[in-house]
Chain A
Amino acid sequence: MGDRIVVEQLTKRFGEIEAVRGVSFTVGAREVFGFLGPNGAGKTTTIKMLATLLEPTSGRLQIEGLDVVRQRQEVRRIIGLVFQDPTLDDRLTAWENLLFHGMLYGLSQAEIRRRAEPLLEMVGLAERQNSLVRTFSGGMKRRLELVRGLIHTPKVLFLDEPTVGLDPQTRSQLWQHIRELSRHHDTTVFVTTHYMDEAEHCDRTAIMDHGQIVALDTPEHLKQVIGSEEIRLTVRASALSERSRWEAELGQSFSGAGTELLFKTRNAGADVARIVQAVGPAIERIEIKRPTLEDVFLHLTGREIREETVSARDAWREFGRRRMGR
């Protein structure tokens, strides 16, 4: 069986509030699995339960066949976690952070060194390994945390909002690393995010809202849920009289008025070729508009990814983040 994570009917109550309401899914080995949803959807609560930090109210949780609640210590050995908030010790050097982490997992110093070298090389921190972490930028810290999460070669690496507070360039770089890791190590990556575009980096993505999974599929399939892609073209005004001939040839009418025409399709790639053939030199400009996961979320929940009200705890966390220089 390839299922590395099995979640069945997972629920979590905090008093009156049911933060997670009967969630079930499985994640395979080496999969990059995304957990997408607005703040407060229950993503972090779910990840905390999977990572042994919170006990579920009910339901079954397994990682590599181990029961996450009853075999907590064993599970802790095979998982890694990169938190939403930085947890590096900024008064220690990068190497010391890795060393201490590895020691907590019972590794020898030589072994830690051996594993750290290629990882540090990959994320471009090899030269800075003896610098104090407080001198690192936010992106560097995140990359170091990623390396640290992998030192004990976990079967599952949980990344809780790993790119919050990073600039777009650093974000895409980090995603590149995450993809590389899942490819070269036998590691399942489980990542939560509330950035729609990041879910596109995942093999499969679960969309969570109000404590439930409202959709779970590959980003491609998720986008097909809302149906068509759209081809937009601008044609020469002088050729507009030919519109009905093009439509006859394509077997489908355009919508749109004047020189701006819209063509709905399920297979934009192939249809672009047909349109180019039919409309020919009258085309001034042509583009394919693909639905984003943003559209998918809107379609499934009827809402934009909402902004959460700031609780005292969040405010404190924000303060913490700033203090830690992120």
Chain B
Amino acid sequence: MIALRGIYVIWLRELIRFVREPARIVGMVAQPLLYLILVGNGLAHGFQFRGAGSVNYLAFMFPGIVAMSVLFTSVFSAMSIVWDREFGFLKEVLVSPVPRAAIAIGKALGGTTVAVAQGAVILILSPLVGIALEPGRYLAMLGVLALLALALNGLGILVASRMESMQGFQVVMNFLVMPLFFLSGALYPLRGMPGWLAALMQIDPVTYGVDALRHLVYFRSALLATITQFSLAEDLAVTLGTAALLLVVSTVAFNRTRSA
């Protein structure tokens, strides 16, 4: 009972903070747009897509950019634990009777909700890159984003549990978040990549989330087979499995976290 209360309070706080910071919302929507407009257009006009000359690159990139937004938001939301544990609300929660596991779960759910809300806003912009989503597919995409966000929040909480100070933040950014993004197939397809790169991309759990999103974007399209790498079932299974695993591991890690 007190555990459910705890999860609810931590989730609610995450939401209230998000809604109260319009600058953050604008920033998180603007960043993917910048990628799309500046990087996307540059690549689209500078290079030709191997194996599928007629693919609209911006439409190809779009699911990847949505996944990127979820990736950044999720990991950073979880990383705020490090600061919060020392100087914030979380320190207070750690001496309350709420079990540690409930704190980790509340945090993961809060971060996921925020990330999906941002994804929902970005997805509304899909007609700009020539994608027309009917409500069913729109909601299905949100579902995939939620799974992906859960996995990434788990990852963030895991890292945050092991981190003592914010000094490691840049390291995490450079050696975890950016590789996860670059290797996810958001910018280029897995197919046709050299073996070592393809292998790395297959290890990256974000790859499967991006691929699932492309399944939905190119649903019943002639390009589906060219653009996607795995079956939708595989994508969902891997993402769900990663989310479950990371949530369990991160909850255990958070349980052991130093609270002082």
| A interface residues with partner B (beta carbon < 8 Å) | 48, 51-54, 73, 76-77, 79, 81, 83, 85-89, 91-92, 96, 100-101, 103-106, 148, 316-317, 320-321, 323-324
B87 an interface residue at 8 Å Cβ cutoff? Answer: yes
| B interface residues with partner A (beta carbon < 8 Å) | 1-2, 5-6, 8-9, 12-13, 16-17, 20-21, 83, 86-99, 165-166, 259-260
A89 in contact with B5 given A53-B94, A53-B260, A104-B98 (CB within 8 Å): no
Cβ contact of A51, chosen from B6, B13, B93, B95, cutoff 8 A: B95
How many whole Å from B97's CB to the nearest CB in chain A?
A: 4
CA distance A55 to B104 in the complex (A): 21
Contact A76 B21 (CB under 8 A): no
Contact A104 B20 (CB under 8 A): no
Contact B96 A104 (CB under 8 A): yes
CA distance A102 to B202 in the complex (A): 46
In the complex, which residue of chain B has the Cβ closest to the Cβ of A145? B92
Contact A100 B95 (CB under 8 A): no
Contact B87 A85 (CB under 8 A): yes
Contact B97 A92 (CB under 8 A): no
Contact B87 A320 (CB under 8 A): yes
Contact A320 B13 (CB under 8 A): no
In the complex, which residue of chain B has the Cβ closest to the Cβ of A72? B97
Give every chain B residue within 8 A of A73 (Cβ-Cβ). Answer: 97, 99
In the complex, which residue of chain A has the Cβ closest to the Cβ of B167? A316
A104 in contact with B5 given A53-B260, A89-B13, A92-B17 (CB within 8 Å): yes
Give every chain B residue within 8 A of A106 (Cβ-Cβ). Answer: 1-2, 5, 97
Count A/B pairs, Cβ under 8 Å: 79
Contact A89 B88 (CB under 8 A): yes
CA distance A148 to B12 in the complex (A): 18
Cβ contact of A77, chosen from B87, B97, B260, cutoff 8 A: B97
Give every chain B residue within 8 A of A76 (Cβ-Cβ). Answer: 95-97
Contact A85 B96 (CB under 8 A): no
Give every chain A residue within 8 A of B16 (Cβ-Cβ). Answer: 91-92, 96
Give every chain B residue within 8 A of A104 (Cβ-Cβ). Answer: 2, 5-6, 9, 93, 96-98
Give every chain B residue within 8 A of A323 (Cβ-Cβ). Answer: 87
Give every chain B residue within 8 A of A52 (Cβ-Cβ). Answer: 95
Give every chain A residue within 8 A of B13 (Cβ-Cβ). Answer: 89, 92, 100
Give every chain A residue within 8 A of B98 (Cβ-Cβ). Answer: 104
Contact B17 A91 (CB under 8 A): yes
A85 in contact with B86 given A53-B260, A76-B96 (CB within 8 Å): yes
How many whole Å from A161's CB to the nearest CB in chain B?
A: 14
Contact A320 B93 (CB under 8 A): no
28 contacts between A and B (CB under 8 A): A53-B95, A53-B260, A76-B96, A79-B95, A81-B95, A83-B92, A85-B87, A87-B87, A87-B89, A87-B91, A88-B89, A89-B13, A89-B88, A89-B89, A91-B16, A91-B17, A92-B13, A92-B17, A96-B16, A100-B9, A103-B9, A104-B2, A104-B5, A104-B9, A106-B1, A106-B2, A148-B92, A320-B87
Contact A324 B260 (CB under 8 A): no
Give every chain A residue within 8 A of B97 (Cβ-Cβ). Answer: 73, 76-77, 104-106
CA distance A52 to B92 in the complex (A): 12
Contact B17 A87 (CB under 8 A): no
In the complex, which residue of chain A has the Cβ closest to the Cβ of B94? A53
Contact B89 A86 (CB under 8 A): no
Contact B5 A101 (CB under 8 A): no
How many whole Å from B1's CB to the nearest CB in chain A?
A: 7
Give every chain B residue within 8 A of A91 (Cβ-Cβ). Answer: 16-17, 20-21
A89 in contact with B17 given A48-B260, A320-B86 (CB within 8 Å): yes
Give every chain B residue within 8 A of A77 (Cβ-Cβ). Answer: 97
Contact A87 B260 (CB under 8 A): no
Contact B92 A101 (CB under 8 A): yes
Contact B87 A86 (CB under 8 A): yes
Query: In the complex, given contacts A85-B87, A91-B21, what are 13 additional A-B residue pairs having Cβ atoms less than 8 angstroms apart?
Result: A52-B95, A53-B260, A79-B95, A92-B16, A96-B16, A100-B89, A103-B8, A104-B2, A104-B6, A104-B93, A106-B2, A106-B5, A323-B87
How many whole Å from B10's CB to the nearest CB in chain A?
A: 9
A83 in contact with B89 given A89-B13, A103-B5, A103-B9 (CB within 8 Å): no
CA distance A77 to B95 in the complex (A): 9
In the complex, which residue of chain A has the Cβ closest to the Cβ of B5? A103
Contact B5 A87 (CB under 8 A): no
Contact A87 B92 (CB under 8 A): yes
Give every chain B residue within 8 A of A54 (Cβ-Cβ). Answer: 259-260
Give every chain B residue within 8 A of A101 (Cβ-Cβ). Answer: 92, 96
Give every chain A residue within 8 A of B165 (Cβ-Cβ). Answer: 316
CA distance A148 to B93 in the complex (A): 12
In the complex, which residue of chain B has the Cβ closest to the Cβ of A51? B95
Contact B259 A53 (CB under 8 A): yes
In the complex, which residue of chain B has the Cβ closest to the Cβ of A88? B89
CA distance A220 to B149 in the complex (A): 61
